[in-house]
Structure 1
Amino acid sequence: MTATPLLLTFVTFFTLLVASSQAQNQPADPAFPQLDRAVRQLMDSANVPGLSLAWIQKGQVSYRQAYGFTKADSTQRVDSNTVFEAASLTKPLFAYAVLQLVEEGRLDLDKPLVDYLPYPDVADDERYTKITARLVLSHRSGLPNWRKNRRSSQLAMVRSPGERFGYSGEGFVYLQKVVEKITGEPINAFMENRVLKPLGMAHSSFVWQPAFTANYAQPHDESGNVGQKYQPAQANMAYSLHTTAPDYARFVLALLNVTGLKPATVDQMLSPQSQLPTRFSGSDTLAAGSYWGLGIGLEQTPAETYFWHWGDNGAFKCFVMANRTRKDAVVYFANGSNGLDFADEIVRQTVGGQHPAFPFLGINWRAQAGKTAKNR
């Protein structure tokens, strides 16, 4: 039986339609399915139930993907709109908003914060009068990460301001209070108007929103057991941001493509303020090419500049690494205590490069995986 021209036309059309549909449903870059396989293997090995990721290439989001489940024993899968705790990835957004105030002449990076607002919690130590916004954002305030008793109104300094790098959430809390005094706004409203709304971060907030209830990641410990979900009623610029990977990618793009700040201000934000030690704790040796800028980590080589940050809220982990030169970046959020263990592998699969950030944080997935395999 000979096919009619009409039948041949229909078959050809149907074949092209199927091929077109398959092409739309499959990643165009072979690196994407390779990344998917790697992420699933890493999650399985590290006992991480869920993860959401966004990959930026040449100044735009080229790929976003979600893996696993919002809760280990549930059937709700993580998707691109699943809300995770951003932990310390909150800090760069706050720095970005603070620098807007600097551009407007309402805040001086090098004016002592006490001139804007005295801080009774640490007033017994006169050294605190030397703390500035620049020192807070570059983690040289001299304040501890957190006070020994979080319920206490007493805060003790650990070193003189400007002396050396010393990661401090308390410094960000003080600067938050100063910003509220300068603007006359609650910090959550200020951040919504300055960052979230302008950048289109529609699934993000610094306090818990009822809309999050339908699709949020739950925390898991190292064994995969579900913990109690923290739902902040008050915004804290050190750690309270709740967001999605695509939303956070919008912020990363604002830095890469210079949006919301003047080019000179972004240059200042991403310029070295203090050199980092080789390890986060327990090392006085400085790492070559490894610095902290204004609110974010930096790595510089003769050819390229990277910026990065990590987040650790216990059972929530996250990481961002960006190549400013190539405008490439990756950000991911995980709902398991081991979710930072493989940050170096995800960066290797996406942005690439050699990074002192990982020895600084004590992350070496391949060494750990090799040790685990040897002990089996």
Structure 2
Amino acid sequence: MIRAIAAALALASVPLGGMALARDGDAVVKALRPAVHVAGTPQIRWTVAERLATYGVAGTSVAVLRDGKLAWARGYGLRQAGKSDPVTTETMFSVGSLSKVATAAVVLRMVDEGRLDLDRNVNAYLKRWKIPESPLAKGHVVTLRRLLSHTAGLNVHGFPDFQPGDVLPTILDTLEGRAPSRTEAVRMVYTPGTQFRYSGGGVTVEQLVVEDVLGVDFETAARRYLFGPLGMRRSTFAQPLDPGFGDIARAHGSDGKARALPRGYEAMPETAASGLWTTPSDYARMVAAFIASYRGARGAFLSRPLAEQMMAAVAPGPVGLGPFLDGRGATRRFHHGGSNDSYRAWMEGNLASGNGVVIFTNGADGARLYPEIRRAVAVTEGWPDTGVAEVPALSLSAANMSEIQGAYRIQALAGAIGERMRMSLPYPLIHVAVVDGVLRIGGRPGGGEALVPADRSNFVHANDADRWVEFVAGDNGRIERLILRDDLAAVEAVREP
């Protein structure tokens, strides 16, 4: 398998616009690394082929932006495990929730055109279905601004994929939660504007708004407002993907084996939320268009005032009008991850530098791979935020670790952190445990992610240099609480007796 992937790596570099790209792609090939480096220990490096094999991912494709322009793109590995077809820059991938940012682009183009208003009750636009009235509304309405920022009060986090031969639900089936849909009905579950709750159901409402206003299906709308204007010729929301596109990355499970055979890929009928098929180069064109719009470039994709709104978080969450946002100054970036059953994807753009990266994978464990590729790109491209934490060598005694371990109950924080930047965690208790001499943190006893000490109080997640844990002692000298930090977000948890 490794030999086949290595052969594919040698074949997969394809020039864009006559530019030789192998130099840049090759720099990344051998530069993958952990998120944390402990001073005085050997520098660990991996190749793309090694990590594809480690995670059972057949292939990946990458596009990189410099100063708002596509600098290089490269495919690595195979379209399907056991076959010989390499991933190229033309290979199409399912990108999961990266679809939501593309959907936001369509909506915002319609706002610029005057066909939609960000702050109008969306029921005024809907013809085939309405958001049911609810006592939870309390005078607040569902608007496009709230839908785009996941603060609209709606449920349904995400959607499962459908196998070849399955009957696909219509958009109304999905909204009503009726067969063949596999999720509950989309309904209001909290007062709009008062909480952040990620909602694929809300994005499905966005889709219906677009379709009902234009009188066309979402694929046609996307071609008119997004794919056509940006030259995204290898992109589609149509479900299932037409095999005629050719050069398609096939689906793989966490065991590394091909899925959804004989076709080789699933269908994602909730198109606006999770149905986009595209290439990194096509998607990077959209990322570049956002950056150019934010900078006020002449003839840009979006008006500058609207692009600035897109890139500002909508309280009480960390999301703007489509993308997640973090960092500040030179590290200010917009980003989003994507996760369908057999594909994982990542995109980000830096608003200050114009740099960015788009990474697609065709494996269920691709989310373990793309952070490593992102770090390799950041280092080789000279970004200020490499995603790598350098910490001093520090050995904790068994007594030190024993003092820290235990269960901590999540609390609401007061002030600005509590209102705007509190992280949303799926469990009420955080468990810290020592497992085989390693401190681990997670939602279940005895498991979770490894922590690396930076000092006696602060620890960084071994696989994510942006995530830190601070253990805080009380006036009796004993650890009584912890604070989880992820960029500007934070949440406090108090130790259980």
Q: 1:69 is matched by which residue type in structure 2? A: L
Which of the numbers 342, 367, 370 marks the counterpart of 2:462?
367
Whole-angstrom distance in 2 between the partners of 1:103 and 1:176: 17
CA separation of 1:24 and 1:313: change in aligned 2, threshold 3 A: closer
Query: Per-residue deviation at 1:68?
Result: 0.9
**Does structure 2 conserve the Cα–Cα contact (< 8 Å) formed by 1:53 and 1:245?**
yes
SS across alignment from 2:192: coil
Which of the numbers 173, 186, 190 marks the counterpart of 1:155?
186
Partner of 2:254: 222
CA separation of 1:53 and 1:101: change in aligned 2, threshold 3 A: same
Partner of 2:321: 294
Partner of 2:358: 331
The CA deviation string for residues 59-81 of structure 1, in whole angstroms up to 9 with x for no partner, is 22222111111111111111111
Query: Is 1:27 aligned to 2:44, yes or no?
Result: no
The CA deviation string for residues 111-137 of structure 1, in whole angstroms up to 9 with x for no partner, is 111122267575153546711000000
Aligned residues: 331
CA separation of 1:104 and 1:320: change in aligned 2, threshold 3 A: same
Whole-angstrom distance in 1 between the partners of 2:336 and 2:269: 23
Partner of 2:209: 178
Whole-angstrom distance in 1 between the partners of 2:374 and 2:368: 12
Q: 2:226 is matched by which residue type in structure 1? A: V
Partner of 1:89: 98
Q: 1:175 is matched by which residue type in structure 2? A: E
Partner of 1:131: 142
Query: Per-residue deviation at 1:303?
Result: 3.7
Higher strand share: 2
**Does structure 1 conserve the Cα–Cα contact (< 8 Å) formed by 2:21 and 2:74?**
no
Partner of 2:88: 79
Whole-angstrom distance in 2 between the partners of 1:28 and 1:303: 23
Partner of 1:41: 50
Partner of 1:211: 244
CA separation of 1:209 and 1:364: change in aligned 2, threshold 3 A: farther
Whole-angstrom distance in 2 between the partners of 1:326 and 1:360: 29
Structure 1 range deviating more: 252-261 or 141-150: 141-150
Query: Per-residue deviation at 1:138?
Result: 0.1
CA separation of 1:153 and 1:43: change in aligned 2, threshold 3 A: closer
Query: Per-residue deviation at 1:40?
Result: 2.6
Higher relative contact order (CA 8 A, sep 6+): 1
TM-score (norm 1): 0.79
Higher helix share: 1
**Does structure 2 conserve the Cα–Cα contact (< 8 Å) formed by 1:206 and 1:232?**
no
Query: Is 1:271 aligned to 2:312, yes or no?
Result: yes
Q: 2:256 is matched by which residue type in structure 1? A: G
TM-score (norm 2): 0.61
Whole-angstrom distance in 2 between the partners of 1:167 and 1:152: 15
CA separation of 1:120 and 1:247: change in aligned 2, threshold 3 A: closer
Q: 2:79 is matched by which residue type in structure 1? A: T
SS across alignment from 2:196: coil
**Does structure 2 conserve the Cα–Cα contact (< 8 Å) formed by 1:135 and 1:162?**
yes
Q: 1:274 is matched by which residue type in structure 2? A: A
SS across alignment from 2:274: coil
SS across alignment from 1:219: coil
Query: Is 1:113 aligned to 2:122, yes or no?
Result: yes
CA separation of 1:35 and 1:321: change in aligned 2, threshold 3 A: farther
**Does structure 2 conserve the Cα–Cα contact (< 8 Å) formed by 1:137 and 1:293?**
yes
Which of the numbers 288, 294, 298 marks the counterpart of 1:253?
288
**Does structure 2 conserve the Cα–Cα contact (< 8 Å) formed by 1:121 and 1:154?**
no
Whole-angstrom distance in 2 between the partners of 1:120 and 1:202: 32
CA RMSD of superposed structures (Å): 3.1
Whole-angstrom distance in 2 between the partners of 1:168 and 1:51: 27
SS across alignment from 2:333: strand
Q: 1:174 is matched by which residue type in structure 2? A: V
Whole-angstrom distance in 1 between the partners of 2:142 and 2:93: 32
Partner of 2:278: 243
The CA deviation string for residues 183-202 of structure 1, in whole angstroms up to 9 with x for no partner, is 22221101111101111111
SS across alignment from 2:250: coil
Whole-angstrom distance in 2 between the partners of 1:104 and 1:368: 43
Query: Is 1:102 aligned to 2:143, yes or no?
Result: no
How is 1:349-360 mapped onto 2 (pairs within 5 angstroms)? 349-351=376-378, 352=383, 353=385
Whole-angstrom distance in 1 between the partners of 2:53 and 2:424: 25
Whole-angstrom distance in 2 between the partners of 1:219 and 1:29: 24
SS across alignment from 2:230: coil
Whole-angstrom distance in 2 between the partners of 1:107 and 1:266: 15
**Does structure 2 conserve the Cα–Cα contact (< 8 Å) formed by 1:84 and 1:335?**
yes
Q: 2:224 is matched by which residue type in structure 1? A: N
Whole-angstrom distance in 2 between the partners of 1:29 and 1:225: 26
CA separation of 1:205 and 1:25: change in aligned 2, threshold 3 A: closer
Whole-angstrom distance in 2 between the partners of 1:152 and 1:342: 29
SS across alignment from 1:237: helix
Structure 1 segments unaligned to the other structure (5+ residues): 1-22, 277-290, 370-376
Partner of 1:10: none
**Does structure 2 conserve the Cα–Cα contact (< 8 Å) formed by 1:220 and 1:335?**
yes
The CA deviation string for residues 151-180 of structure 1, in whole angstroms up to 9 with x for no partner, is 578433322211111111111111111111
**Does structure 2 conserve the Cα–Cα contact (< 8 Å) formed by 1:112 and 1:131?**
yes
Query: Per-residue deviation at 1:109?
Result: 0.6
**Does structure 2 conserve the Cα–Cα contact (< 8 Å) formed by 1:87 and 1:311?**
yes
Whole-angstrom distance in 2 between the partners of 1:341 and 1:32: 17
Whole-angstrom distance in 2 between the partners of 1:29 and 1:243: 20
Structure 1 range deviating more: 63-72 or 33-42: 33-42
SS across alignment from 1:257: helix
**Does structure 2 conserve the Cα–Cα contact (< 8 Å) formed by 1:56 and 1:327?**
yes
The CA deviation string for residues 95-114 of structure 1, in whole angstroms up to 9 with x for no partner, is 11111111122211111111
CA separation of 1:99 and 1:58: change in aligned 2, threshold 3 A: same
Whole-angstrom distance in 2 between the partners of 1:318 and 1:43: 14
Q: Displaced runs of 4+ in structure 1, greater than 6 A?
A: 359-366
Query: Per-residue deviation at 1:343?
Result: 3.1
Partner of 2:195: 164
CA separation of 1:35 and 1:252: change in aligned 2, threshold 3 A: farther
